[in-house]
Amino acid sequence: MSLESLLIINKSGGLIYNKNFNDNIEKNINSNDMLILASTLHSAFTLTNCILPEVLQKYSESYNDSKERKENEEELDVTDSERNKFPIKVKYYPIGNKVNITTNNMIANELLRETTMIGTELFYNKKDIIDYEQVSCIRHIDSDVLDVYFYQSITGIKFISISNKKENLGVDRMTCFMMRVYSLFSDVVLKNPFYSVEMPIRKNKLFDDKIQMLVEMENLV
């Protein structure tokens, strides 16, 4: 019962997909509000990069770009112990939150078989997934009424899930969930020949259903 909304934002900050799991949200927020919400969240990513503490600036994505211009400066010297802190390790949660996927669960099997979702054979026995270097990407926003979790794919698509405080979901679990949404997205949406990249996903009933199924399997609704 804790997930309230799921948003997908393209790399230029436009909302391409959103699904609300709360009736009040459906009633009170119109599509324009949702677009504003998405672009605000997108701009927060730029801000967190700007206010990166000076100590961490050598890890940031844009650091190496400016390096080329100033040749006099020292080479980037990152010792091994520092490098080990990034990338971040995410603890792996299987679908259905620790419940082993049983072979007789038809829906789950179908969903797993049809898509290349993270969390099937490849990661089954591993404890950690290594997230790529997200030095200044927001991962979690915590207020006393809401939790907002972020996952940014390496191509710049952002997945955002907004949840209430009824259950403490944890960053790792939600990152795993959003990785699965990413893999669903790449399967069901991007492989569709009639979908133009970076445009809003409209009338894709298959994707809608599968998201709903995934969310139910994860016990998030």
Residue 37 touching other proteins (CB under 8 A): yes
202 is an interface residue for other proteins by CB under 8 A: no
Question: What is the torsional sign of CA 117, 122, 123, 125?
Answer: positive
Query: For residues 211 and 79, what is the distance between their CA atoms, to the nearest angstrom?
Result: 42
CB of 97 to other proteins, least distance (A): 18
Binding of other proteins by 55 (CB under 8 A): yes
Contacts for 100 with CB less than 8 Å, ≥ 6 apart: 94
The contact mask relative to other proteins for 83-122 (x = CB under 8 A, - = no) is ---x-x----------------------------------
C-beta closer to other proteins: residue 150 or 207: 150
- Among 110, 114, 128, 142, the residue binding other proteins under the rule CB under 8 A is 142
- Using CB under 8 A, which of 16, 129, 138, 184 touches other proteins? 138
Q: How far apart are CA 65 and CA 61, in angstroms?
A: 8
Distance CA 192, CA 188 (A): 7
Q: Does 134 bind other proteins (CB under 8 A)?
A: yes
Q: Which two tokens stand for residue 32?
A: 């324009």
